[in-house]
Structures are given as C-alpha cells and as structure tokens.
C-alpha cells in the first residue's frame, strides 16, 4: 500500500508501527508524548507540534528507519490520519 505524503511515497505495508504523537517542550526538554497524555497534561506544557510517525524499523534492529510528518494543529494531524486510514478500508 503506497501513501503519497509531503515527504514522498511511503509503502505503509512495510511499516512496523504507525502512530500519532504530540511533541512537547517541558522546561527545555523536547519529547514525544501520546495524544492521550496531551489530553490529560497538555495545558501544563508547551506544545511544539503534532506528528504522525511511520516507523519502518525491523523489530530486531537498533537503527531507526522512520518518516515523521509534522502538523501545526491536532485537527490537521487527525485529517491526515483519516487519509491514511482510507488505505486500510
């Protein structure tokens, strides 16, 4: 299954993980957190961006092979997730 993204065509059938996240700045430390975490604690930290991660790293490998799409709003992230979901329908 090929998904055309702003970073090129991605063969999502080869993805080992596909997940959304929020990038936050917690007192100078930048970290990826789950959307559920953001719903609980998001007002306490600075939200940098929302991301959709296509991870192609084989489960037994240490070297990361992933493509990250970045969004300014949660709504834009969800819209992109809905486009990806159409490939699985």
**What's the confidence (pLDDT) of residue 49?**
97
pLDDT tens per residue, range 50-86 = 999 999 998 888 888 999 999 999 999 999 999 999 9
pTM, 2 dp: 0.89
Residue 3 is predicted with a pLDDT of: 92
Closest CA to 51 of 10, 81, 13: 81
pLDDT tens per residue across span 18-53: 999 999 998 899 999 999 999 998 888 899 999 999
Domain residue ranges of the chain, discontinuous segments joined by +: 2-88
30: CB partners within 8 A, 6+ apart:
23, 24, 48
Continuous segment of H or E residues that includes residue 70: strand 66-71
CA torsion 31→73→86→13, rounded to 10°?
A: -20
pLDDT at 60: 86
Where does the chain have alpha helices with state H? 35-41, 74-85
């Amino acid at each position: 299954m090929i998904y055309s993204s702003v970073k090129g065509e991605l063969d999502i059938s080869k993805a080992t993980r596909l997940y959304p996240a929020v990038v936050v700045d917690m007192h100078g430390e930048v970290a990826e957190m789950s959307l559920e975490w953001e719903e609980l604690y998001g007002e306490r930290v600075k939200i940098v961006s929302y991301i959709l991660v296509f991870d192609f790293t084989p489960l037994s490998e240490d070297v990361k092979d992933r493509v990250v799409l970045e969004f300014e709003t949660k709504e834009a992230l969800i819209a992109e997730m809905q486009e990806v979901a159409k490939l699985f329908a």
